[in-house]
Structure 1
Amino acid sequence: MTPITEVEGRRLALSNLEKVLYPVTGFTKGEVLHYYAVNAAAILPHLRDRPVSFLRYPDGPDGQVFFTKNVPPGTPDWVTTAEVPRSEGPARMVLVQDLPSLMWAANLVTEFHTHQWVVRDPGVADRIVFDLDPGAPATVVDCCRVALWLRERLADDGIDAFVKTSGSKGLHLLAAVRSASSEQVSEYAKQLAVEAERAMPRLVLHRMTRSLRPGKVFVDWSQNAARKTTATPYTLRARPEPTVSAPVTWSEVEECTAPAQLAFQAPDIAPRLQDHGDLLAPLLDPDTAAPLP
């Protein structure tokens, strides 16, 4: 029998709580739900008002994995949805606005992916993102070198950058911006990716060409396009272990000499939040947003 629980007045059916989703560590679906419940105060502000795409893995990362952008069948009528423009025509997507909708979505077993804009201003970016993706044998240690270069380059333009792990192999750099279309932000991000490649040609690549990737860090600037999404801060990832896209300090980036130093799993996050708070909180403050040069 599926347990029914009440979350802030909403009744939720939470299924298969003992199911192991991460076989390497034995991490269960119940533990996934517990992770999101405990850390909801940190993740919800980064989800709120942003249409959510779900990467679903109901049988764990070794099972079927599929991407869902439209409102899933069976979505409760109390979950907020919004019509979002797309090139092929408008679509309706989920907004995770509160704890009940977060727990409902987590019960579907998802990674959360969000746009760089909020629903009231689709295509008007309030964030810029760089996805630093290492091609083996390069690692996150190499991504750290690139991240530090990009931080200084953004600072030259008056933009304060923040950083999180991707929850996979690399890093994400984020900054708050204002008064810019997604196209303008994409152009600026591409410009900086090209500059980074010129500055570090043996390490950095700004093109997606697979054959050029080994041993280099691909600076993916394309996730700033209005249609693209990036893993939301604090989301669990569909990896062999319950890794998290976790905010980190610049000191941790500067001191990183081995990939394990920037690998965080679900149990690590609550203690980190207690020690550091939400390291990405400045992204939520409109006063920190900087204009593009």
Structure 2
Amino acid sequence: MSPITVVEGRRLSLTNLDKVLYPETGTTKGEVLHYCTTTADVLLPHLHDRPVSFLRYPDGPDGQRFFTKNVPPGTPSWVKSCAVPHSRSGPARQVLLQDLASLVWAANLVVELHTPQWTCGAPGVADRLVFDLDPGEPATIVECCAAALWLRDRLAADGLAAYAKTSGSKGLHLLVAVEPTPSDCTTAYARTLAVEAGAALGGLVTHKMTRALRPGKVFIDFSQNAAAKTTATAYTLRARPAPTVSTPITWDEVADCTEPAQLTFLFDEIAGRRAHHGDLHAPLLAPEEARPVPPPEF
């Protein structure tokens, strides 16, 4: 029989707590659930009012993985959801993780958490700008850091403050709090900067999605600003060989990175980082930090 726990007055059945999800480290599902509950105070604010897409990996990263946007079958009635316009399939409903009980329910499904750059009250109107820096082998996160520093300075020239985090996979994410802006406009602006980076940094980066152009370069993916796209949320665990986390980092850490291991963080390192740094992405949650996005022709 699965153990029953009560979280904020909600009864939850938690399954297979001793199951090893990450064989490389022996990390169990129970440890994953513990991570999510003890990180909820910083994780939930970054999820608030944002429809969540799940990458599910119930048998660990080496097992079956599947991406779902719609509310999963069997979702408790008390888990909130919102209507989300889908351009091809019409309106759908997606989960909102607004409280600890909902987060624990989702963690029991074994998921990565991905969110768009807009909230459910204003679909397709971004309050964040994002750049996903993805290295093509033999490039690594070290090369991503060089591109990130250039983008940080270029954004600052337009009055925009960027905050960095590891993707939890191979690369980096840069996020900027912006005044509500149609996603088409944030995408156009991000593309402009990605093209500029390509011209300024020579052979280091590419903004083109063609995979044949990516080896040895950093792909600056500006397309995640599109209304239909999502990005891994800060503090989410990833479906990687080890339990890595999409971790907010300092700009000093970016500038000092000379080896990929320097910016690889496992779930059991996050509490210590939080104790030292707090939530490095807290400014993204402050409305007064938002700045206007320059028009695409800027």
TM-score bracket relative to the smaller structure: over 0.9
Give the secondary structure class of the aligned counterpart of 2:202: coil
Q: Please state how far the C-alpha of 1:179 moved relative to its aligned partner.
A: 3.1
| Residue-by-residue CA offset, 1:195-225 (whole Å, 9 max, x unaligned) | 0000012101001111111100000000000
The equivalent residue for 1:149 is: 150
Taking the TM superposition and a 5 Å limit, the aligned residue runs for 1:114-193 are 114-193=115-194
Q: Please state how far the C-alpha of 1:180 moved relative to its aligned partner.
A: 1.1
> Is 1:16 matched up with 2:16?
yes
The equivalent residue for 2:211 is: 210
CA distance in 2, matches of 1:210, 1:89: 30
The equivalent residue for 2:112 is: 111
CA distance in 1, matches of 2:269, 2:184: 36
Q: More deviation in 199-208 or 51-60? A: 199-208
CA distance in 2, matches of 1:10, 1:93: 20
CA distance in 2, matches of 1:165, 1:82: 28
Taking the TM superposition and a 5 Å limit, the aligned residue runs for 1:199-278 are 199-278=200-279
The equivalent residue for 2:4 is: 4
| Residue-by-residue CA offset, 1:156-188 (whole Å, 9 max, x unaligned) | 000000000000000000000113100000000
Please tell me the residue identity of whatever aligns with 1:218.
F
| Residue-by-residue CA offset, 1:47-103 (whole Å, 9 max, x unaligned) | 010000000000000000000100000000000011111112100100000000000
Is there any run of 5+ residues in structure 1 with no aligned partner, and where?
Answer: none
CA distance in 1, matches of 2:12, 2:132: 35
CA distance in 2, matches of 1:180, 1:8: 36
Taking the TM superposition and a 5 Å limit, the aligned residue runs for 1:78-97 are 78-87=78-87, 88-97=89-98
Query: Which TM-score applies when normalising by structure 1?
Result: 0.99
Please tell me the residue identity of whatever aligns with 1:113.
H
Q: Kindly, what percent of the aligned residue pairs are identical?
A: 69
Please tell me the residue identity of whatever aligns with 1:39.
T
What do you get for the CA RMSD once the two structures are aligned? Answer: 0.5
CA distance in 2, matches of 1:260, 1:233: 19
Taking the TM superposition and a 5 Å limit, the aligned residue runs for 1:11-90 are 11-87=11-87, 88-90=89-91
The equivalent residue for 1:290 is: 291
CA distance in 1, matches of 2:215, 2:180: 37
CA distance in 2, matches of 1:68, 1:48: 19
CA distance in 1, matches of 2:54, 2:179: 26
Give the secondary structure class of the aligned counterpart of 1:97: coil
Is there any run of 5+ residues in structure 2 with no aligned partner, and where?
Answer: none
CA distance in 2, matches of 1:179, 1:36: 30
| Off by >2 Å, runs of 4+ in structure 1 | none
| Residue-by-residue CA offset, 1:227-279 (whole Å, 9 max, x unaligned) | 00000000000000000000000000010110000000000001101100000
The equivalent residue for 1:197 is: 198
Query: Which TM-score applies when normalising by structure 2?
Result: 0.98
CA distance in 2, matches of 1:258, 1:179: 37
